[in-house]
Amino acid sequence: MRRISSLWLSILLGLIPTESGVALASSSNNKFRSAGRGFASNSHIFDNGSGGSNVIGNSIFDFAISRGGATKSKSRSDTSTQAFATNTAGIDASILEGSLEEKRPLKVLFLSSDTGGGHRASAEALGKQFLIQYPGSTYELADLWTDHGVLPYRTLVNTYKHMSAHPLQWKIFYHLSNTKLNEVCANLHSKLTCGRRIKDRLESHDPDVIISVHPTMNHTPLVKTQQLSKELGKHIPFFTVVTDLGSGHCMWFEKNVDKLYVASDRLYKLARRRGGTPPERLVLTGLPIRHGFAVQAEQLGDRTSPQGKDYQRTMKVELGMDGDKPMVLVMGGGEGVGSLSDIVNELYAELYQQGVDATICVVCGRNEKLKEDLLTRDFNQVVQDVKSKRRTGRKRRFLSRIFRRKAKGDLEEMVLTDDSTGRGQITVVPLGFVSKVPEYMVAADILVSKAGPGTIAEAASVGLPVMMTSFLPGQEAGNVEVVLEKGFGAYKHRPAEIANVVTSWLQNDELMASMSKAALAAGNPYAADEIVRDIGQQTVAWMNLNEK
C-alpha cells in the first residue's frame, strides 16, 4: 500500500525517473565521419534574437581525439574558436579564448539517480574524460533525492525498479507525469520541501562545476546552485547532459543552465518547443559512452573495409572465438533479464536449420542461473523442441484458416515441411558480467538487445547492426524509431521472429555491409571527449573570472 501511495503521489508531482537515453551525433573532426554523419546534423545556425547568429553544432571547435589513455588535440582554427565563443552563454569571448588551452584540476559533481544504469554510466564516461583531459581532477556522484528527499522523492529508485518491471504501469506513469502542470507542481514542491538540504549538500562538495545527467536533478538543484553562487560571490556553472535519444521528459529542459547538451535533432526541437532552454545554450552532441569505444573505433574504422575485417577477426581470436565465424552478441542488461533463454534457443535452432555457422555470445549479467543453464543445455534437444513447436504452430494456424474458409468450401491440404537446409555449426558462449564490452561489440556481427539508448549508442559507435527485442514504453520508444529511421537495425518482439531476421541478415552480406555503414554514420564514440572539452573550458574560464 505504501508503494502504491508513493507511486500515485509521484504521478501527481510529475517526478518520474527516466532511464538513460543516448545521444548519437557526428563530429567533423573525427577520422571516420562524413560531414553529414550522425543523428543530429553537423551544425546549425540560429538567430539569437539580436540580429546576430549563434553557431550550434557538434563541432564547435576542434575537439581532442582520445586514444588509449592519452588525449591528442588537433589544432584549432580562428573560425572554430570564434564559433565556440559565440555559442557560450554568459562568458565574455576574450576571457573564454584565454582559457581554451589552460588545464586546471577540477572538482566535478554529477547529479543523478540509479533509476536504470545508464545515468551512472554516462556520468562515469564523462568523469573518466575529466581525469584524462584535466589531470588531477576529481569527480563525485550525488543522488540528492535518495539522500535528502522527502516522500515520494526518496523512493524514486525503488519506484523505478518496480514499474520498469511492469511496462503498462510505467507507460501510464510516464505519460501522466510528462506534462507542464506536473512539472510546475513538482518543481514548487521539491523546492519547498527539500531545497535547504539540497543547497547544504551542494555547498559541502564545494564543486567547481555541477553536471546533471538525470531529468529530476535540474530545476531545484539549479535554483539552489544559483543561490549558493550569490552567497559565495562566485559563479558555479551548472550543465545538463540529456541522456535520452529519441524522446525526452519535460523535466530535462531548464532555461537557466549554462548549457544543455542534447542527443539529436528531434530532442533539440523538443527542447525549443517546450519553451525552456534558449537556442544559444543548446548544443547537439552525442551520448557520453565509455572511453574504450573511442579507442576501439579508432582501431576498427569501417568494419566493412579489408582493414576493418582483419581487425574484427583478430579481436574474435583474442576473445577465444573462431575468427572466421560470424558472431551474434545477445545482451539482456546488467541483470540478464528478458526472454534471453528463449531467444538463444530460437536463434540456435534457426541458424542450425539454415546451415549457418556462428558463435552466439550471451551476456547474462547477474543471472548466474541462466549462465549455468546455458553451459549445460542440450542444444540438440533444443533444435528438436523448436521444430516440434513450430510444427504445432503451423498446424494451429492451418486449422484456423480451415474454419475461417469452411463456409466457402475452400479447403487446403495441410502439409508440414521441414524447412532445414543444412546443419550449422553453432557455438554458444555464456558470459557473466563483461568488462570488455567495446571489444565484444567489435568482434560481433550483430547485436541482439533491448532498445536502451546507451547500448544503441555503443553499437553505432563501432558500426554494429542492432536487433532490438524490447523497450520501456515512453522514453525508449523513440530509440526504436531512431534506429529504424537511420537504417541500422530492426525491432522484433517474438523470439522466433528475432531468430528468423537475424539469420537472414547473416545470409546477406550486402545488407550487413549497408547496415554497418549506416550505424557508423549515426554513431559518435567521441561524445564524452567533446562534451568534457566544452564544459571544461567554460569552467576554467569561470574559475579565472571568479578569481579576479
2-13 vs 167-177: helix axis angle to the nearest 10? 40
pLDDT at 90: 57
Same domain as 441, residue 371: yes
**Measuring CA to CA, how many Å separate 548 from each of 258, 278, 349, 543?**
20, 29, 70, 9
List the pLDDT tens digit at each of the 548 positions of the chain. Answer: 444 444 444 444 444 333 333 333 333 334 333 333 466 533 332 233 333 333 333 332 233 333 333 333 333 333 333 333 333 455 666 666 666 778 899 999 999 887 666 888 999 999 999 999 999 999 999 987 777 666 666 667 666 666 667 777 767 777 777 777 777 787 787 778 888 889 999 999 999 999 999 988 898 999 999 999 999 999 999 999 999 888 888 888 998 999 999 878 778 888 888 767 888 899 998 899 999 999 999 999 999 999 999 999 999 999 999 999 999 999 986 444 458 999 999 999 999 999 999 999 999 988 899 999 999 999 999 999 998 887 775 555 544 544 444 443 343 333 333 444 568 999 999 999 899 999 999 999 999 999 999 999 999 999 999 999 999 888 788 899 999 999 999 999 999 999 999 999 999 999 999 999 999 999 999 999 999 999 999 999 999 999 87
Return d(Cα 147, Cα 429) in angstroms, integer. Answer: 41
Residue 148 within a domain: yes
Percentages helix, strand, coil for the chain, rounded to the nearest 5? 50, 15, 35
Strand partners, 303: none
Residue 84 within a domain: yes
Residue 410 within a domain: no
> CA torsion angle for 307, 313, 318, 320 (degrees, to 10)?
170
Same domain as 308, residue 279: no
Reported in sequence order, the residue ranges of 42-135 that DSSP labels E, i.e. its strands, are 43-47, 53-57, 65-67, 70-72, 107-111
- Domain of 22: which CATH number? 3.40.50.2000
Burial of 369 (0-12, 13-18, 19+ CB in 10 A): exposed
Same domain as 421, residue 300: yes
pLDDT at 93: 62
Return d(Cα 423, Cα 351) in angstroms, integer. Answer: 8
Return d(Cα 101, Cα 533) in angstroms, integer. Answer: 10
* Site of grid cell 540456435: 348
**Measuring CA to CA, how many Å separate 130 from each of 24, 106, 282, 460?**
20, 8, 21, 24
Same domain as 329, residue 275: no
Same domain as 153, residue 142: yes
Structural domain range at position 74: 2-289+527-547
Contacts of residue 149, defined as CB under 8 A and 6 or more positions apart, other chains included, come to 156, 190, 193, 194
Domains contained in the chain, number: 2
Same domain as 136, residue 283: yes
pLDDT at 116: 64
pLDDT at 8: 40
Same domain as 391, residue 274: no
Same domain as 308, residue 220: no
Residue 412 within a domain: no
CA angle at residue 401 from 395 to 405, to 5 degrees?
145
Same domain as 298, residue 278: no
* Grid cell digits, residue 401: 484458416
Each residue of 338-390: pLDDT tens digit? 589 999 999 999 999 999 999 999 999 888 999 999 999 999 999 999 988 87
Same domain as 180, residue 309: no
* Grid cell digits, residue 39: 543523428
* Grid cell digits, residue 518: 549506416
Residue 506 within a domain: yes
* Site of grid cell 503451423: 394
Same domain as 117, residue 225: yes
pLDDT at 150: 60
pLDDT at 270: 85
* Grid cell digits, residue 201: 549538500
pLDDT at 194: 80
pLDDT at 115: 64
Return d(Cα 161, Cα 180) in angstroms, integer. Answer: 25
* Grid cell digits, residue 146: 535518495
* Grid cell digits, residue 20: 538513460
Residue 191 within a domain: yes
End-to-end CA distance of the chain: 56
Same domain as 184, residue 135: yes
Return d(Cα 21, Cα 148) in angstroms, integer. Answer: 25
Helices (H), ranges, 362-486:
368-376, 379-405, 437-443, 453-461, 477-486
Strand partners, 45: 55
